[in-house]
A = this chain, B = another copy of it.
């Protein structure tokens, strides 16, 4: 049996573990038994068709072997299906399968499955437990940890949702084998983010790696390191600031411009991670313009992003629409824009000193 890593998300009220290791998917039933989930408990396993084809059987038999009663629901889970309508499908399945307060939901899939299953679990009977079993790199290093759940509003991403912490996160790197290459690379954007915002060692390790765009060319050790350090970073920030009042906001590095890209190009043009890559490149340039960090650090960031096969160029977008969209972002306070800006590799600050003109200048100079 492969060794496993356990990372504790040390929340005051509902602490939980992130378990990382090859082959963990086959042990999810045992892990739930270890959490005192009692035999006979109903579990609504939510997945999307592709992931279910590869991994549902293994997951369900592990749960059944532990005496649990899983039932599988597959949903279409692109970003454009992340809506109240799909939420309703999960809630209907919860009703149909008789989920009680002691029942569980389990999200087996990427970020969209995780966000919607988490939100459904938050709403069903005013909250039942949820287990996150992410199968994409993006969900492993980011979305599955921290309890942010939700769906999109036609006018913006993740405007509707809840904070609902999982009871357990199970990460099995073997599931990355079947992940499309483009999605793997998109996940690397968040890994690079952890380097920039607080982990210069991780950043350097990534710089030294031969390849960052294909898991088949990465050593299992590098992959395990990436997953562990990312989970540690996320867990530490979440534990320090569960509801994003302060420190948790640094996790939004690259996301403010990223959301603009996703919103204005329409969901589906860019993957979330690709939009974040563009957002990091852009906000890095903004930091350079403001004299906060150096050209050479921005260059190191751009090189790393490109090495992971990710885009860095700001797309052609109407600047007024960009500013409108920035202002409709849920991180806005009393109409004042806020940005997470890098000031070194491994360090960021939060600023509400960025004016519209700074944004205009930065974005127009990118073309």
Which residues of A approach B to under 8 Å, CB–CB? 38, 40, 84, 87-88, 91-92, 95, 98, 100-102, 122-127, 148-150, 153, 155-156, 158-163, 243, 328, 330-335
Contact = CB atoms under 8 A, between A and B. Distances in A.
B159 A95 contact: yes
B334 A91 contact: no
Count of identical protomers in the assembly: 2
Contact of A159 (B122, B124, B155, B334): B124
A195 B237 CA distance: 47
A313 B254 CA distance: 63
A254 to B, nearest CB: 20
Contacts of A328: 95, 98
B334 A40 contact: yes
Contacts of A148: 126
Contacts of A332: 100-101
A153 B123 CA distance: 11
A126 B334 contact: no
Nearest to A122: B162
Given A95-B156, A148-B126, A333 B102 contact: yes
A38 B98 CA distance: 45
Contact of A334 (B100, B163, B331): B100
A163 B127 contact: yes
Contacts of A335: 100
B126 A91 contact: no
Nearest to A163: B126
B125 A159 contact: yes
A296 to B, nearest CB: 36
A112 B40 CA distance: 35
A174 to B, nearest CB: 32
